[in-house]
Amino acid sequence: MKRIAVLTSGGDCSGMNATLRAVVRAGLASGLEVIGIQKGFQGLIDRLYEPMTTRSVSNILQHGGTFLQSARCKEMRTEAGLHLASENLKGMGVEGLIVIGGEGSLKGGYAIQQQGVPVIGIPASIDNDIPFTDYSLGVDTALNNIIHAVDNLKDTASSHDRTFVVETMGRSCGYLAVASAIASGAEYSLIPEEPYDLDQICKDLRKRFQEGRTNSIIMVAEGAGKAEDIASQIKNRIGFETRVIVLGHYQRGGSPSVFDRLLGARFGQAAVENLIKGNGGTMVCLQGSIMTLTDLATVTSAGIRPINPMLPKLANQLLA
Ligand code: F6P
């Protein structure tokens, strides 16, 4: 193997730059040429690429986002787009591709593998919804962003006897909401994986208020409902003054945490090593503290990563 390529695709997340740096430097150190594809699969279709040197990835690991840029590429879902992307790769003399991205991007990577170019996926999505890996890249930084926001909101909530409803991202996965509720001491977390009873929550809120706990934070995963709706239902049912914060894209950016920098370095190096070993058609996974591989065919057909039931249980137990 002489030449490999790397791209970042789908929603950006913190740690992508650290991962790109690891891929480029591990690749070059192994005697490979490394091509950086810009704007994800769109760049593959439009032939936007540049050869990487060690200097191309200097001074980037501390920054969020992705210096190669990313895109959600609809064309890759068409036969023609997939064919063009694969032919362009082959035309560049690329013998292996590393795809850094979430669920849809890994599907794109698997489709390219089926066109005959070995692909290794690196799970990267703040949602932590990719199966077979305990953590995806960017999750830890996103959680740190969320708890930083909640810590600040708690100051105001306690100063004004207010209830805050805080909406997190996550698509149909509630990991960010429940993990951040535990880590920030929020009172409730509403997630798509578990049914919730708003009537009961309102009764509890009123009782807690009568007992002197006059403020609260309710985390709601975007897949479990809209913070705005939940807040107005609480106001209508028990008359509490409620404020809404939709954290949105604030969660995705910022300087990556140490965990995401180390994870990115490990994922990047493992991806290069396994391409060289001929293990294309897989995704690198962190299981416990071990770096391992799962077939892309298995990853892309397994649906979203289930929530560990211990998490919502723990969140409930810690509610005072
Ligand atoms: O998958 C990452 C994610 O941030 C989701 O949590 C969210 O639903 C979605 O991407 C937002 O997508 P976009 O950046 O295209 O608005």
Is residue 169 in contact with ligand 1, taking CB distance under 6 Å? yes
- Choose which residue among 8, 127, 145, 168 to substitute to test ligand 1 binding: the one with the highest number of ligand atoms within 8 A of its C-beta: 127
Cα–ligand 1 centroid distance for 125 (angstroms): 9
Q: Are residues 225 and 124 in the same domain?
A: no
Of the candidates 12, 127, 140, 260, the residue annotated as catalytic is: 127
**Residue 311 counted as domain residue:** no
Please work out whether the CB of residue 126 comes within 6 Å of at least one atom of ligand 1. Answer: yes
**Based on the structure, what is the number of domains in the chain?**
2
Does 168 map to a domain? yes
For residue 37, give Cα distances in angstroms to 33, 34, 88, 97, 154. 13, 10, 11, 10, 43
Q: Is 260 a catalytic residue?
A: no
Q: Looking at the domain assignment, is residue 295 inside a domain?
A: yes
pLDDT digits (tens, 9 = 90+) for 260-305: 999 999 999 999 999 999 999 999 999 999 999 999 999 999 999 9
- Which atom of ligand 1 is nearest to 171's Cα? 8
Task: Give the domain CATH number at 132.
Answer: 3.40.50.450
CA distance 113 to 232: 48
Report the nearest atom of ligand 1 relative to the CA of 169: 6
Say if residue 51 is in the same domain as residue 106.
yes
Alpha-carbon torsion 309, 313, 318, 320, what sign? positive
Look at residue 52 and tell me if it is in a domain. yes
Same domain, 195 and 58: no
58 & 17 share domain: yes
CATH of the domain at 245: 3.40.50.460
Q: Is 252 in the pocket of ligand 1 (CB under 6 A)?
A: yes
- Same domain? For 28 and 64 the reply is yes
Range of the domain at 166: 142-252
How far separated are the first and last CA of the chain, in Å rounded?
58
Q: In what order do the strands lie in the sheet with 163-168?
A: 188-190, 216-221, 163-168, 242-246
CA torsion 134→140→146→148, rounded to 10°? 140
> Is the domain of 133 the same as that of 147?
no
223 lines ligand 1 (CB under 6 A): no
241 and 151 in a common domain: yes
pLDDT for 269: 98
134 and 13: one domain? yes
Residue 294 lies in a domain: yes
* Dihedral sign from CA coordinates of 105, 89, 49, 293: positive
Same structural domain for residues 29 and 51? Answer: yes
Do 68 and 121 lie in one domain? The reply is yes
pLDDT < 50 regions, the chain: none
pLDDT score at 319: 83
Taking the whole predicted model, whether its pTM rises above 0.95 is answered as yes
